[in-house]
Each structure stands twice: as structure tokens, then as C-alpha cells.
Amino acid sequence: MYTQDSAVPEFQDAITPHQNVADGCKVLIKKAIELGCEQAVVIHPDTIIVGRWVQLKCKYGCEEYGKKLTCPPHSPSFEEMKEILREYNRALLLHGHLSWQMRYITAEIEKMAFSLGFYKAFGLGAGPCKLCENCDTARSCIRTMEARPSMEACGIDVYQTARNHNLKIETLKNHNDEVNIYGMILLE
């Protein structure tokens, strides 16, 4: 985890193909914190829990189901996500409190990761995409540089994944409870 005492290279000079991957991760963590994340942790994909039931909750619990290109049934299925995770050897798990902010941070960190040499970087946001007022699911996405599916849209059990890393997440008991939102950047 990033702390104020960690030595982090500046972004402008940060990482070349010959430098250490850990330095690149430190740069990404620092930027995520600067953008508003409470925490950012590098994790192994084996600790990311994927389950069929997660997309079931989308289908029978979310009014956006089928209405967004980033939501099921348009997003990768849980089976596809299991296969996709096998193609990565690390991920950056991001913790914050606002879903719109997490979607923004995820997009920014993905771009930064790519520029640092993590060419397979791919972000997963939080909650349904709100980039367009109406999403035309009969056509291709018009905001492909920013729009990303959420972790849960792809079948990721966000609760267990966060708990696997001792990060705070609980079901809400009332509207005054603190919301814990998670995003992720898949990294090679």
C-alpha cells in the first residue's frame, strides 16, 4: 500500500521499459491517491473472486440491467472474466467512496498505466456507466475511451475480493452509512 513515506518516482520521468514494475505500480498508486482514492493496493488475480451469482444480482436487482453497454448482458460474462483474469499477473484494487469518481479515476489510471508500459492495462469501474444520458445498446459505444464495465457487471464479487485484502466493505443498513466503492485496473 502507498504511504506518504514511500519513495515514488515522478510521473514525467517515471518508468522506462528497463525499469522495475514495482516502480510503475508505486506511480499508479500515488496518482490514484491524488485523484481521490482512500486506498490503492496491488493484488494478485488469484485473489479476485468471480461468481455466477453476481450477475444474477444485476439481472434481478438493478434497474440498469440491459440498458447500458457496460452492464450485463453486454459486459463480459463471469466465465469470460475468469478467463481474462488468467491473462494478468497483477491488478490495482482502488478504494473510494463515490461511484462517479471511481469511474473517472479508473479511466485515468488505466491511461497512465498504458503510458508507463503496462500495455495490457484495463480498468473496471463501479456501478452503471453514466457517461451518456441514454445508452443506445443497438449500436457501438460512442465513448469507448472512457466507458468501462464495473467489477460487478463482469461477475466479480467485490465484497469478498475487498475482504481478501482486509479492505473495508459492508452492506448498507441505512442511507447514512459510509459507502465503500471499488474499482480495479488489470495489469500484466
CATH number at residue 26: 3.40.109
Instruction: Examine residue 9 and state whether it is found in any structural domain, yes or no.
Output: no
pTM score of the predicted model? 0.88
HSE-up (13 A, CA, CB side) for residue 119 = 2
| Number of domains observed in the structure of the chain | 1
Coil vs helix vs strand at 92: strand
Instruction: Examine residue 12 and state whether it is found in any structural domain, yes or no.
Output: no
pLDDT in tens, 17-64: 546 888 999 999 999 999 999 999 999 999 999 999 999 999 999 999
Cell of 133: 444520458
Return d(Cα 114, Cα 129) in angstroms, integer.
Answer: 22
Instruction: Examine residue 133 and state whether it is found in any structural domain, yes or no.
Output: no
Could you list the residue range(s) of the whole structural domain that residue 123 is in? 22-127+144-169+179-187
Return d(Cα 27, Cα 15) in angstroms, integer.
Answer: 9
Instruction: Examine residue 45 and state whether it is found in any structural domain, yes or no.
Output: yes
